[in-house]
Amino acid sequence: MKVTVDTDKCIAAGSCVMEAMEVFDQRDEDGVVILLQENPSEDLYSAVRRATAACPAKAIVLEQ
């Protein structure tokens, strides 16, 4: 799995961090998403999928 984020779309809701804090974080100054792991391990796949579904701005893209 490869994860990419569109920081221009991000509205800093923090939903991704709540679902997969090992993969996503937020910038202190404005809350915009920070991608910590572009290729997370298989044990994080379900959390990343939940984070992607929870993103209100659809700023997370997954590639298999």
Place 60 in a pLDDT band, splitting at 50, 70 and 90: very high
For the segment(s) 2-63, the CATH number from 3.40.50.150, 3.30.565.10, 3.40.30.10, 3.30.70.20 is: 3.30.70.20
- Listed by start position, the domains of the chain span 2-63
Amino acid at 5: V
pLDDT tens per residue, range 11-43: 999 999 999 999 999 999 999 999 999 999 999
Q: Give the distance, in angstroms, between the CA of residue 11 and the centroid of all CA atoms in the same chain.
A: 12
Amino acid at 14: G
Asked whether residue 64 carries a pLDDT value surpassing 90, the answer given is no
